[in-house]
Homo-oligomer: A and B are copies of this chain.
Amino acid sequence: MNYDIDRFFRQDKLPHIWCPGCGHGTIMANLARAIDKANLDPDKIVVVSGIGCSGRASGYMNFDTLHATHGRAIPFATGIKLANPELNVIVITGDGDGAAIGGNHLIHGGRRNIDLTVILMNNHIYGMTSGQFSPMTPTGANATTTPYGNIDQNFNLADLTKASGASFIARGTAFNTRQLIEIFNDGLLHKGFSFIEAISQCPVNYGRRNNIDTAVKMLEWQKESSVNIKKWNKLSDEEKKGKFPTGIIYKEDKREYTEMYQEIIDSVQKEA
């Protein structure tokens, strides 16, 4: 398939500011391909991001875009969507933005099952602020605020969002771009809260400090660590160690928030 993505970018803002080899660029490009594939009306797309390197994405994408406050993209998006349910609202967040400061909004968005597509670019670090650890920095890894090695555990974001009530949960990698496009496409078309963790790489602020100092090496790590969900379920616990599943991890038909609210309006207005 040939993708026409130039139209989805603000050409005068390119090249983007992300570092050489930063996975965020690959992920954003493939989000654009998925939008192309899903054939959405670009005038009805809104991209909301928080603050972080990941948050820069909103500035590059040629839709209605909001670069909000750190961690709060989902509640902004919730207002945008509920106020006008015909909009396709995409949230782009980071592992710090979405899972640290923004964790509560993530789970409450999932609980409401409001029709947002949330893409969390997980590069396992606070990239923008130069490399402090995030809730997704592996235990034992190095970051500027873990001079003696990270003792924090990580979230399993797929488990967390599933437990929260989200109805579409997937994980992809900057490495496996074809899978990423499929996942994005499905997430965009899913009616309900779609959560997609996109594993990214930050060679500058994670790689360098952790002896995987090039983007290429980091992509190789993604390749080695990821297992398609179909295979994953057949692995032993031993085999799963150090690996993670990718693909659509969970999907459910479930009543969506703005639709339910519209039903209230319709019934109240009918009565009146």
Knowing A159-B163, A164-B160 touch, does A264 contact B151 (C-beta < 8 A)?
A: yes
Q: Which listed residue (B101, B112, B268) contacts A153, Cβ 8 A?
A: B112
- Least CB distance from A109 to B in Å reads 11
Knowing A103-B104, A160-B160 touch, does A111 contact B152 (C-beta < 8 A)?
A: yes
Chain B residues near A149 (CB-CB < 8 A) = 264
Within 8 A of B (CB), among A138-177: 148-149, 151-156, 159-160, 162-165
Q: Is the CB of B268 within 8 A of A148?
A: yes
Check: A135 CB closer than 8 A to any chain B CB. Answer: yes
Q: Give complex CA distance A103, B111 in Å.
A: 12
Q: Is the CB of B261 within 8 A of A151?
A: yes
Within 8 A of B (CB), among A110-138: 111-113, 135
Residue of B nearest to A108 (CB): B103
Q: Is the CB of A112 within 8 A of B152?
A: yes
* Residues of chain A at the chain B interface (Cβ within 8 Å): 100-104, 107-108, 111-113, 135, 148-149, 151-156, 159-160, 162-165, 257, 260-261, 264, 267-268
A sample of 17 inter-chain contacts (CB < 8 A) reads A103-B103, A103-B108, A108-B135, A111-B135, A111-B154, A112-B152, A148-B264, A148-B267, A149-B264, A151-B257, A151-B261, A155-B165, A156-B163, A159-B162, A160-B160, A160-B164, A163-B163
With A111-B154, A151-B257 already in contact, 20 other A-B pairs whose C-beta atoms are closer than 8 Å? A101-B104, A103-B107, A104-B104, A104-B107, A107-B107, A107-B155, A108-B135, A111-B153, A112-B152, A112-B153, A148-B268, A151-B260, A151-B261, A154-B165, A155-B163, A159-B162, A159-B163, A160-B160, A160-B163, A160-B164
